[in-house]
Structure 1
Amino acid sequence: MNKLELNIRHRTVSILDKYFTGESIDYKKIFAVILPIFVDQAFLILMSLLNTAMISSAGVAAVSAVSMVDSLNIFLANVFIAVATGGTVMVAQYKGSGNSAMVSKTATQAISACTIFSVLISALVIIFHTPILNMLFGKADADVFQNARIYLIGSCLSYPLIAIFQAVIGSLRGVGETKPCLNLSLLMNLTNTILNVLLITIFKMGVEGLVISTILARVLGMVASLIYVLKYNESIRFRFKNALHLDLSILKKVMFIGLPFAAEQIFFNGGKLLTQTFIVQLGTLSMTVYAIGNAIMMLYQIGPNSLGIAIVTIVGQCVGRRNIEDARKFIFSLIGLSSISFVFAGLLLLPLFPLLIKLFNPPDEIVPTIFTLILISAIAQPILWSPSFIMPSALRAAGDSNFTSIASLLSMWLLRVVLGYILGITLGFGIIGVWVAMIVEWGARGIIFGWRFKGKKWYAHKLV
């Protein structure tokens, strides 16, 4: 190694020590948490992009139906993912405080709670699927509506499978074991993609093929995750007999974090769904623009989304040790890293737009509108997205769940929904007006959470 290489290495280590090392945890452990999550998120989003591109071969009606129902799926799935997040926060804080017995008990109870919530949600949506679809998408074309019905019922059948998987993954992330999370996620999502290629591209089964591949992949993911925590993991020590016995004292703490977050997700994604109903009024092409724009924008968010997930473990463990100085330092550092990630993504992906758009085979007349949406996002995300989404994850990891949920709900409904309607429908700016309202809402959220972070109340909750 020559002198220049040694100098570069020394400066890199010095920067990493300055921003990512504290008394609680050093930069090596932080990046050991982040990197598997990054690979996982990259794979998930690339596969989602590929799946959207594959389903586009079944026509605009199929793309629109899948996009609409996926918004509803996210809305519903986030209820049990929120409960899993409550488990992640509690597990991380118990891990930080050194209480291994409570790590195991809390993880087990979180898995049980997620299972119960997901079964209830799945049953209710299957029973009432027709009025739900009529309420949300009644103005959609008949072929879009029929595809949406098939996809919604199939998705509901898979909710308990993905809920158990997410609860196991959340608990493993809480103790900082992100490598097995990556392996389990790769197994499930690779299976899903291979089955999609087989059923959608080769056998031309359209939305029915998407449903079958989703259910089979999630069965495999659930079984593999349970086998791992039953036989191969020492931190969680999951046992079925313990899962069948609900411990109300532990569940109460998990729900203290999980329920406000679940309520936030219900209303936050409910606002997104309401926004979708504006877009339905604008026609099938506008729905397709929105679906493709969101799919491409997710590529820009691979790094920042990873940091938003990792920060729960990192800040949770710092707060479990009551080291608030470290927690503050890492929150600043990870938000900065997120903004840098957006800049790199923009420089890399904007020139590739002509290639990316070919994946979706959209009608030529909507391509300029899609590019406009992506350009607006690429400019706004480095400044506004990171404090808007990474900061609340950090506050929630410290136990500040009520404030973050209320603030998110108010900003969503007052800005993204109301302003979206005014700009998109009333003033006639269409899909671009709806998109701009979303950007404005990011800015407002960032200001609110930044103000909260300056004070002391966000870390005043003693959960462990």
Structure 2
Amino acid sequence: MATIAARADAFMTKHFTRHSITWRQAMVIILPLIAENLTNNLFGTLNTGMISSSGEASLSAVSLVDTLNTFLFVFYTGIATGASVIVANYRGMGNPEKLHKACTQAVTAVVLFTLFTTVFIILFHVPLLKLLFGAAEQEIVDKARFYMLGGAISLPLLGITTAFCGVLRGIGEGKTALLYTVTSLLIYLGLNLVFLTGLKLGITGLLLSILLNRILNIPLLFGLLWIRKSAFRYKVKEFFHLDTSMLRRIMRVGIPCAVEQMFFVGGRVVTQSMLVALGTGAIVVYNISYSILTLNEALVTPVNTAMYTVAGMCIGDDRPEDVRDLTKSYLGLNTVLYWISLGLIMLLFKPLTIFYSASAENIPRIFQLVLITGIAHPLIHSLGFTLPTVFRATGDGIYTTVASLLVMWGLRIVGAYILGFVFGLGVLGVWCAMILDWLVRAGIFSIRFRGNKWLKHKKMTE
């Protein structure tokens, strides 16, 4: 047993340890993220299953608005990403004063953007729904409007907890963030069981669960910070003290990332609006398949998120060569994780379709889409999505954003229209356009990775 442990340690040290960060330090970041993401996906799956029992119209409305909501408030997640990179840089430099300032400014920036997003949704939800989903059945549009407004009201509360969890992961307190996430989701599940399964309130019940959960999350989070004696102390007065220099550094990384995410999700919104023309059945097939796709990415997404911190610490420590070595190792890890996930998805496919209340006629179509992405994931997905994460952490965000947007809108959107409607392939055509997007991204970023331009940017803490 000791020999196996020694060999495992030697392997991990060789491939995942460098001067800037050891493999054990990396696992402290990654493992809580994996547990958190698995929990999020599990509860997301349960949530979809519970709302699907309210009928296809309710499921379609929630799916459409969730995509649109993501587009509207995804900007602040990009800002949070920029903050995490700067936090990692200062952590790598060993500068506690700047580290604290970066953390406080991260919270302030994210909360301000969520407030802006709430106002934006309240003012413009009607024209947005008409523009994007006007062709949908009236029942779906009515439910979508109600769900969209209800969720927007409590968005600033979500901004507070999301920003704090991001900071906790950045300073090495991922276990506290994980404990918060698991507890919060258990509360959310309990509320959904009461309002959706027990009282059968449909979308109204879902909104009540969301609102009450976000309200309860605030005392839960601060209670955990106090109990676990967190090193991060955020004073309310710090919210009103804007450090323009620090915010500029955060925005330098966050803005390109946010713009890319907004256009990426915007592409999904456009795709959803295309599917509306194909009918409710097509929307259901696409969204159930996409939900299963997300499950297949449940182990890899946390690794990609952790790469912001891993690469950021290497750059802060002035060791760019470590970034390239570690990136190669994590690409290999992601490939293995994808094959494991695919095997599990195939074993659990039938129970999943039952849980999602998929009709018998839709199950073969869902399986076809899931199998296509399951094979594509380990072969090309990491190259197209892990590498951009590393590039952003080194300051190469503009190139990454421009390349990603050109490929997405040129292939995923235009390709979806050509394959799905011109060639009459329907949902399958829309899905294949997404895979084509992945393939071209993988090629572009692999070529970029082989060169050195992405490592020659000015340090983001300067």
TM-score (norm 1): 0.96
Do the aligned residues in 1 keep the contact of 2:72 with 2:121 (CA within 8 Å)?
A: no
2:271 counterpart residue number: 275
Unaligned runs of 5+ in 1: none
2:288 counterpart (289, 292, 307): 292
| Aligned counterpart, 1:133 | 129
Aligned to 1:115: 111
Matches within 5 A, 1:323-342: 323-342=319-338
Alignment of 1:383-394 (within 5 A): 383-394=379-390
For the 8 Å contact 1:174–1:313, the answer to whether it is kept is: yes
Find out whether 1:20 has 2:40 as its counterpart: no
Amino acid at match of 2:239: A
The structural deviation recorded for 1:230 is: 7.2
Alignment of 1:308 with 2:304, yes or no, is: yes
- Name the structure 2 match of 1:83: 79
Cα distance change of structure 1 residues 226 and 80 upon mapping to structure 2, 3 Å threshold: farther
Q: Of the candidates 135, 142, 145, which is equivalent to residue 146 of structure 1? A: 142
Of 401, 410, 414 in structure 2, the residue corresponding to residue 414 of structure 1 is 410
Contact 1:100-1:235 at 8 Å conserved across structures: no
Shift of 1:293: 0.5
Cα displacement (A) at 1:232: 5.5
Match of 1:405 in 2: 401
1:104 to 100, 110, 135: 100
Partner of 1:219: 215
Q: How many residues align?
A: 460
Partner SS, residue 462 of structure 1 = coil
- Answering whether residue 425 of structure 2 is matched by residue 463 of structure 1, we say no
Give the aligned partner of residue 429 of structure 2.
433
Deviation (angstroms), 1:456: 2.3
Q: Measured at CA, do residues 433 and 318 of structure 1 come closer, stay the same or move farther in structure 2, by a change above 3 Å?
A: same
1:197 to 189, 193, 198: 193
Where does structure 2 lack aligned partners over 5 or more consecutive residues? Answer: none
Tell me which amino acid in the other structure corresponds to 2:459.
K
Corresponding letter in the other structure for 1:315 = A
Q: 2:27 aligns with which of 16, 25, 31?
A: 31
**Given that residues 104 and 235 in structure 1 are in contact (C-alpha distance below 8 angstroms), is that contact kept between their aligned partners in structure 2?**
no
Give per-residue Cα distances to partners, 1:199-236, cap 9 Å, x unaligned. 00100010111111112212222343345557855543
What secondary structure is seen at the aligned counterpart in 2 of 1:186? helix
Report the counterpart of residue 45 of structure 1 in structure 2: 41
Task: Return closer, same or farther for 1:79/1:226 CA change in 2, 3 Å cut-off.
Answer: farther
> C-alpha offsets along residues 388-426 of structure 1, whole Å, 9 cap, x if unaligned?
111111111222221111111111101100101100111
Q: Give the distance between the partners of 1:398 and 1:216, measured in 2 at CA.
A: 39
Q: Could you tell me whether the CA contact under 8 Å between 1:67 and 1:291 is conserved in 2?
A: yes
Q: Secondary structure at the match of 1:58?
A: coil
- CA 1:231–1:117 in structure 2 vs 1: closer, same or farther (change >3 Å)? farther
Match of 1:375 in 2: 371
Deviations 1:23-66 (A, max 9, x none): 11111111111111000000000100010000011000011111
CA contact (8 A) 1:292 1:370 kept: yes
The answer for the alignment partner of 2:235 in structure 1 is: 239
Amino acid at match of 1:387: L
With 143-152 and 222-231 compared, the bigger mean Cα shift is at 222-231
Query: 1:463 is aligned with what amino acid?
Result: M
Moved more, 9-18 or 420-429: 9-18
Of residues 85, 89, 92 in structure 2, which corresponds to 1:93? 89
Equivalents in 1 of 2:18, 2:321: separation in Å?
9
Residues 38 and 306, structure 1, Cα contact 8 Å, conserved in 2: yes
Q: Distance in 2 between matches of 1:137 and 1:224?
A: 37
CA RMSD in angstroms, aligned pairs only: 1.4
2:447 aligned with 1:451, yes or no? yes
CA contact (8 A) 1:68 1:148 kept: yes
| Greater Cα shift, 221-230 or 54-63 | 221-230
Residue 423, structure 1, aligned to residue 419, structure 2: yes
Q: Is residue 348 of structure 1 aligned with residue 344 of structure 2?
A: yes
Indicate conservation of the 8 Å contact 1:230/1:239, yes or no: no
1:65 maps to which residue?
61
Cα 1:411–1:208 change in 2 (3 A) is same
Secondary structure of the corresponding residue to residue 27 of structure 2: helix
Taking the aligned partners of 1:230 and 1:120, their CA distance within structure 2 comes to 29
Query: Is contact 2:260-2:404 (8 Å) kept?
Result: yes
CA contact (8 A) 1:89 1:397 kept: yes
In structure 2, what residue type is equivalent to 1:420? A
3-state SS of 1:311 partner: helix
Taking the aligned partners of 1:233 and 1:401, their CA distance within structure 2 comes to 35
The offset of 1:457, in angstroms, is: 2.5
* Residue identity matched to 1:282: L
Q: Residue type matched to 1:252 in 2? A: R
The offset of 1:238, in angstroms, is 1.4
Letter matched to residue 353 of structure 1: F
Q: CA deviation at 1:264?
A: 1.1
Scaled by the length of structure 2, what TM-score is found?
0.97
